[in-house]
């Protein structure tokens, strides 16, 4: 669904120390992946797990809370603006400061950039059993923040794909 190109600049919000960095960076040649997490422990684990990617320059790790003062500048310096922004199972966009988080995302997206909000813990062939937000709740926040959106369901996974209105 991400349709990653070799030159993409990708931001993953809240990746922790998951293996997703290796997957996302696999197709990058001239592009970069920036992973941001509010947990210093998760960033340290990710640095250890993905040392080769860090050494290659394709991965940058940022310890910051999204949204927070200064986080936008840190993420821009690390590789933004971004062609793709991904958040997997990040509650920010439906439970707490969705407006602040989405405003930050809009600021960090490159022209033509896309936001992917993914929820679920199973796979595309698993029954939809894990807890996830109602798409209408996500749509409300996204619409209020100036995003057009569509939803994709695959087994236990829910993916909302959002683009700034007017292609900003």
Strand 32-37 relative to strand 9-13, pairing: parallel
Asked if residue 68 is part of any domain, the answer here is yes
> Average pLDDT over the chain, rounded to whole?
90
Residue 37, burial from CB neighbour count under 10 angstroms (0-12, 13-18, 19+):
buried
CA 165 to mean position of chain CA atoms? 19
CA 35 to chain centre: 8
Does 3 reside within a domain?
no
d(Cα 138, Cα 94) in Å, to the nearest integer?
Answer: 6
77 is a domain residue: yes
Residue 79 lies in a domain: yes
In a domain, 18, yes or no: yes
The answer to whether residue 62 scores a pLDDT higher than 90 is: yes
pTM of the shown model: 0.92
Instruction: Tell me which of 151 and 15 has the higher pLDDT.
Output: 151
Q: Which domain holds residue 142?
A: 9-167
The answer to the question of residue 127 being in a domain is yes
What is the total count of domains within the chain? 1
Q: What is the DSSP letter of 8?
A: -
Q: Say which DSSP state 165 is in.
A: G
- Output the domain CATH number for residue 49: 3.40.50.150
Asked, for residue 29, whether it belongs to a domain, the answer is yes
pLDDT for res 2:
84
74 alpha-carbon distance from chain centroid: 15
Q: What is the pLDDT of residues 122-134, one digit of tens each?
A: 888 888 888 888 8
- Taking Cα atoms as reference points, which of 108, 113, 17 lies closest to residue 67? 108
- pLDDT of 106-149, one tens digit each? 999 999 999 999 999 888 888 888 888 888 888 889 999 999 99
Mean pLDDT within 18-43? 92
Residue 4 lies in a domain: no
Share of residues in the chain with pLDDT > 70 (%): 98
* Mean pLDDT, residues 80-91: 93
């Amino acid at each position: 669904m991400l349709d990653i190109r070799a030159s993409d600049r990708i931001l993953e919000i809240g990746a922790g120390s998951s293996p997703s960095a290796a997957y996302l960076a696999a197709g990058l040649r001239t592009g970069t992946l920036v992973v941001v997490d509010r947990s210093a422990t998760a960033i340290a684990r990710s640095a250890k797990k993905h040392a080769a990617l860090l050494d290659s320059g394709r991965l940058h790790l940022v310890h910051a809370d999204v949204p927070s003062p200064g986080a936008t500048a840190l993420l821009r310096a690390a590789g933004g603006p971004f062609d793709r922004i991904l958040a997997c199972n990040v509650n920010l966009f439906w439970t707490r400061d969705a407006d602040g988080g989405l405003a930050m995302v809009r600021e960090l997206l490159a022209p033509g950039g896309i936001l992917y909000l993914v929820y679920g813990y199973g796979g595309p062939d698993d029954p939809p059993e894990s807890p996830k937000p109602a798409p209408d709740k996500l749509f409300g926040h996204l619409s209020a923040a100036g995003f057009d959106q569509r939803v994709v369901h695959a087994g236990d996974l829910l993916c909302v794909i959002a683009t700034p209105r007017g292609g900003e």
